[in-house]
Chain A
Amino acid sequence: MISFIIRRLISALVVLLILTLIIFCVVRVLPGDPVDLYISRAEVTQLSPEQVDLIRHEFGLDKPVYIQYLDWLGNVVKGDLGKSYFLQEKVTTVIGERLPITMYLGIISILISCILGVTFGVICAVRRGKRIDDFLSVLANIGLTSPTFWVGIILIYLLSLKLHWLPAFGYTSPLDNFGLSTKQLVMPVFCLSITAVAVLTRQTRSSMLEVLRLDYMRTAYSKGLSERTVVIKHSLKNAFIPIITTIGMQVRNMFGGVVLIETVFNIPGMGRLMIDGVLGQDFMIVQGGILIIGMCILLVNLIVDISYGWFDPRIRYN
Chain B
Amino acid sequence: MVNTELADTMIIKVKPRRSEAKRVITAFLNRKLSVIGLVLIALFILTAIFAPWLAPHDPYQINMGEAMMTPGSQHLLGTDTLGRDTLSRIIYGSRTSLMIGVLSVILGAFVGMSLGLVAGYFGGWVNLVIMRFIDALMCMPPLLNALIISVVLGGGILNVVLALAVGIMPGQARLMCAQTLTVKQNDYITYGRAMGAVDLRMLLRHILPNAFPPLLVAITIDLGMCVLLEGALSFLGVGIAPPTIAWGSMINNGYPYLLTNWEMAIMPGFALMLVIFGFNMTGDGLRDAFDPRLR
Residues of A at the B interface (CB closer than 8 Å) are 14-16, 18-19, 22-23, 26-27, 29-31, 141-142, 144-147, 149-150, 153-154, 156-157, 161, 252-257, 259-260, 263-264, 274-275, 278-279, 286, 290, 293-294, 297-298, 301
In the complex, what residues of A have CB within 8 A of residue B135's CB?
A: 15, 18
Chain B residues with a Cβ closer than 8 Å to the other chain, count: 40
Chain A hits for B235, CB < 8 A: 147, 149, 260, 263
Complex contact B139–A274 (CB within 8 A): no
Contact of B232 among A149, A157, A252, A298 (CB under 8 A): A149
B59 close to A (CB within 8 Å): no
Chain A residues with Cβ under 8 A from B25's Cβ? none
The closest CB in chain A to the CB of B142 belongs to A256
Stretch at the interface among B49-57, B146-154, B189-197, B211-219: B146-154
CB pair B276–A14 under 8 Å, yes or no, is no
- The CA-CA distance from A264 to B280 in the complex, in Å, is 25
Contacts of B43 in A (CB 8 A): none
Does B140 belong to the interface (CB within 8 Å)? yes
Query: Are A30 and B133 in contact, with the CB atoms below 8 A?
Result: no
Contact partner, A275, options B137, B141, B147, B266, Cβ 8 Å: B147
When chains A and B are docked, how far (Å) is the Cα of A63 from the Cα of B224? Answer: 43
B265: Cβ under 8 A from any A Cβ: yes
Q: Which of B122-148 contact A (CB under 8 A)?
A: 132-133, 135-137, 139-144, 147-148
For the complex, what is the distance from the CA of A290 to the CA of B143, rounded to whole Å? Answer: 13
What CA separation (Å) do A255 and B143 show in the bound complex? 9
A149 to B247, CA, bound (A): 12
Cα A215 to Cα B10 in complex, Å, equals 34
Q: Are B143 and A145 in contact (CB under 8 A)?
A: no
Minimum C-beta distance from B133 to chain A (A) = 6
Residues 208 to 250 of chain B near chain A (Cβ within 8 Å): 224, 228, 231-232, 235-238
**Within 8 Å of chain A (Cβ to Cβ): is B281?**
yes
Q: Does the CB pair B151–A30 fall under 8 Å?
A: yes
Q: Choose among B232, B273, B280, B281 the residue with the greatest number of A CB atoms under 10 Å from its CB.
A: B232
B71 at the A interface (CB under 8 A): no
Contact indicator B139/A153 (Cβ below 8 Å)? no
User: Chain A contacts of B259 at CB under 8 A?
Assistant: 161
Q: How far is the CB of A317 from chain B (nearest CB, A)?
A: 19
